[in-house]
Structure 1
Amino acid sequence: MLRPLAIKTKPKEAEMHYGRLTTFINGSEVLHVKTTTETIKSPASTHTPICKKKFSYITEPTEQKFNSTDKEMKCMALKENTTMSLVNFVVSSAPNFRARQIIRETSGSISFVNGLSIKHVFVVGKSTEENTNKKIIKESEEHGDVLFYDYPDTYLYLVYKTLALLQWANENLSTQIIISKTDDDVAVDFFELSKNFKDILDEVSAHKNEREKNVFEQFPMICGLQYRVRDVPIRGKKHKNYVSLEEYAPSTYPTFCNGPMYVIPMAIAKDLYKLTCVHEMLRTEDVWFTGIVRDRIGKGDSNIVKRTYPFAQHYQTSQTNLEHREQNMRRVHILMVEKLGYSQIHWC
């Protein structure tokens, strides 16, 4: 049985907020996180590249509080059967408190299903409203699941939100972890996602050289929604996603995953982060990270795949109100729980 390795703890290169060390996922040492207000400078790491843009964190995710209830004891026992571990990063606008809570009560309430252990982390940038920032800090203290970074939370800086989570993942997660980037208006069926993982893992394991130690280095990106081929850059200067010839000259983009939901193994995410550190970025973050940078690190189209079993539904913020989105996300969650019951799959 494949077991997740401990996270590689590394010295930070910039001023960060440090504090107590915590752990999560099925009792194994997987995710180490620190939070407080003490600021410390550490020597530069030889493993982590020096980026043009470095982020500091106001709050970071912490270990889930464990109570000795029958339900939680059963969940801990189930997690002894973990075969894969996922950190689901949910990118969210600073004032979207209700949207984040809806996810906590639906898909975000799932921490283990079908051999997959899951940690949910909300990624939030700094608001111009100080009261909102105070509420986010309180939210983080209450739930322990917010990666709150010190940079403006606006659409123009959306690409930085993904870079901020990649920086944190690069510094804290091992290459045997899978991560996902999910918008807060996406409903995820983690049972269906686990089925995608199992099929890929079986295929990769069947072709893996026995001398290879990390099967996850062969794991591809998975597009949770659209798998885009030969899309063209938007050249209209008035469009919010305008791309000049100076920024990107080719007439088409590499294959990429549409932004609201995609999955990346940390083995690839670390390489993406390293190259992103030394290149100017496009504001279209899905094209940039899953297409252009993936292509530049030498990961061809065999390293990016369509989903086999649909596992994500996007209820676009511009097309639905919060009430309608909440109803749909709760419906997706209920249907998932019903499927688990029919299939007699263990989950918690």
Structure 2
Amino acid sequence: MGGLSQYVAKLTCLALLTVVTMIFLGKQLHYEAYSTHVNYSLDAPPTSHLIGRLPTTSLSAFNVLGYGNTSLMTRMDTPREEFEFIIHPRNNSCNDGAFGKRALWSMIVCVKSNIKNAKRRNIIRRTWGAQKLLQAVRLVVIFVVGKDDRMNRTEIDKEQKRYGDLLQIGIKETYTNVGWKVLAGMQWVQTNCQSDWFYSSADDDMMPDLRKVYGEIQNQMDGDHFENTPIICQNSLRSNEGPIRDKRYRNSVPYEHYSKDSYPSFCTGGFYSMPASMSNAIYQVSRYHNYFYNDDVWVTALLRLSAVDAGLVWCINVTDQFCAIAKFNGGSVQHAFCNEKIMSDKLSNVYPPPYKPK
């Protein structure tokens, strides 16, 4: 019996060693593919972009579960042109070293905001957006806006001169153009921020508890491999939801565009976080797909799986539709549902001026 026990113990140790080796090699292969296709290191902004066709992994969830076969997610042979910005954030906020030495890590939040919503932007600036260093985390907030020809240009110029935190792109302010703002923010972050930052996307009527936001990010961080942290749905995670087919609704999706009955799991677009290296990869992959106005689904579900399929985002099980997204059902952020008074009152209670962290 003693000999048999020793034999079983040796087999168990050998099996564990094999699994650890496979995981290590998988990560090494992923890093090689990452640097080959994206051509930048983890300690510097990217200097070049994907050229030509995207690579593909036949056994990924993107292909096995059929998401890549839908008309919506058919890949283009050449990438879409990049955005041209009308207004840039002043002084390249990501390179501001004022808090760098005191911060354990840094996060930039790209807030999708209608150009008319100056009041909401001001509420954010004086509450959670003013927490430049909290719990040893450095925070930078920029507002991504479109254009409205009916609005006086002087107003937006004055706002930018005072705060210097606007990123404006030349698209009209419409419901179906919101997704372009997400990609524009990702493009700016890719060019201006280090890839070891954290990236978050937010609506301008969200009320985050930054302590909880930072706490959940730190819970999900992958130790020595910061860039492998999954997407975190700070507001809520949705699963087994399908497209609306009724054409009477503005967010209906024709069957010929997306033929599947459900979407992969996705974050509601109010507030979600991911490593900047992942947002860089998702942005690059997005340039090979036709635009889909539902940025919640497009970015955190379909483009996420497409980036995994292309080998640009690491995942231990590429066949899993939860690959690279955390099974965390939010709660760090509340929705004000466009009610600016509620938003102002609640946020002012959490972040009273002058705010002093507990």
Give me the TM-score of the superposition, normalised by structure 2: 0.71
Quote the RMSD (CA, aligned, Å). Answer: 2.8
The higher radius of gyration belongs to: 2
Once the two structures are superposed, residues 94-118 of structure 1 have per-residue CA deviations (whole angstroms, 9 ceiling, x without a partner) of 1111110010000010011112111
Q: Does the Cα contact within 8 Å between 2:237 and 2:329 map onto a contact in 1?
A: no
Q: 1:329, 1:54 → 2: CA distance?
A: 35
Q: Which amino acid aligns with 2:132?
A: S
Q: Say which of 300, 305, 314 aligns to 1:295.
A: 305
Q: 1:200, 1:93 → 2: CA distance?
A: 31
Q: Which amino acid aligns with 2:285?
A: L
- Structure 1 counterpart of 2:263: 253
Secondary structure of 1:267's match?
helix
Q: How far is 1:186 from its partner? A: 0.5
Q: Is residue 96 from structure 1 mapped to residue 124 from structure 2 by the alignment?
A: no
Q: Could you say if the C-alpha distance between residues 109 and 307 of structure 1 is closer, same or farther in structure 2, counting changes exceeding 3 Å?
A: farther
Percent identity between the two aligned chains: 26
Once the two structures are superposed, residues 250-296 of structure 1 have per-residue CA deviations (whole angstroms, 9 ceiling, x without a partner) of 11000000111111212211221111101112211111000111122
Q: Is residue 282 from structure 1 mapped to residue 313 from structure 2 by the alignment?
A: no
Q: How far is 1:145 from its partner? A: 0.7
Q: Could you say if the C-alpha distance between residues 134 and 247 of structure 1 is closer, same or farther in structure 2, counting changes exceeding 3 Å?
A: farther
Q: 2:102, 2:246 → 1: CA distance?
A: 52
Q: 2:78, 2:141 → 1: CA distance?
A: 27
Q: Which amino acid aligns with 1:297?
A: A
Moved more, 297-306 or 259-268: 297-306
Q: How far is 1:173 from its partner? A: 2.4
Moved more, 111-120 or 298-307: 298-307
Q: Could you say if the C-alpha distance between residues 336 and 220 of structure 1 is closer, same or farther in structure 2, counting changes exceeding 3 Å?
A: farther
Q: Is residue 233 from structure 1 mapped to residue 247 from structure 2 by the alignment?
A: no
Q: Say which of 138, 142, 148 aligns to 2:162.
A: 142
Q: How does 1:1-348 map to 2 (within 5 A)?
A: 7-8=44-45, 10=47, 51-63=79-91, 76=98, 79-131=100-152, 133-201=153-221, 204-205=222-223, 208=224, 215-298=225-308, 300-307=321-328, 310-317=331-338, 320=339, 322-334=340-352, 340-341=357-358
Q: How far is 1:335 from its partner? A: 11
Moved more, 81-90 or 302-311: 302-311
Q: Could you say if the C-alpha distance between residues 335 and 287 of structure 1 is closer, same or farther in structure 2, counting changes exceeding 3 Å?
A: farther
Q: Could you say if the C-alpha distance between residues 279 and 324 of structure 1 is closer, same or farther in structure 2, counting changes exceeding 3 Å?
A: same
Q: How far is 1:179 from its partner? A: 0.7
Residue ranges of structure 2 left out of the alignment (5+ in a row):
1-41, 51-76, 309-314, 316-320
- Structure 1 counterpart of 2:7: none
Q: Using CA pairs below 8 Å that are at least 6 residues apart, which structure has the higher relative contact order?
A: 2
Q: Does the Cα contact within 8 Å between 2:231 and 2:273 map onto a contact in 1?
A: yes
Q: Could you say if the C-alpha distance between residues 12 and 110 of structure 1 is closer, same or farther in structure 2, counting changes exceeding 3 Å?
A: same
Q: How far is 1:137 from its partner? A: 2.2
Give me the TM-score of the superposition, normalised by structure 1: 0.73
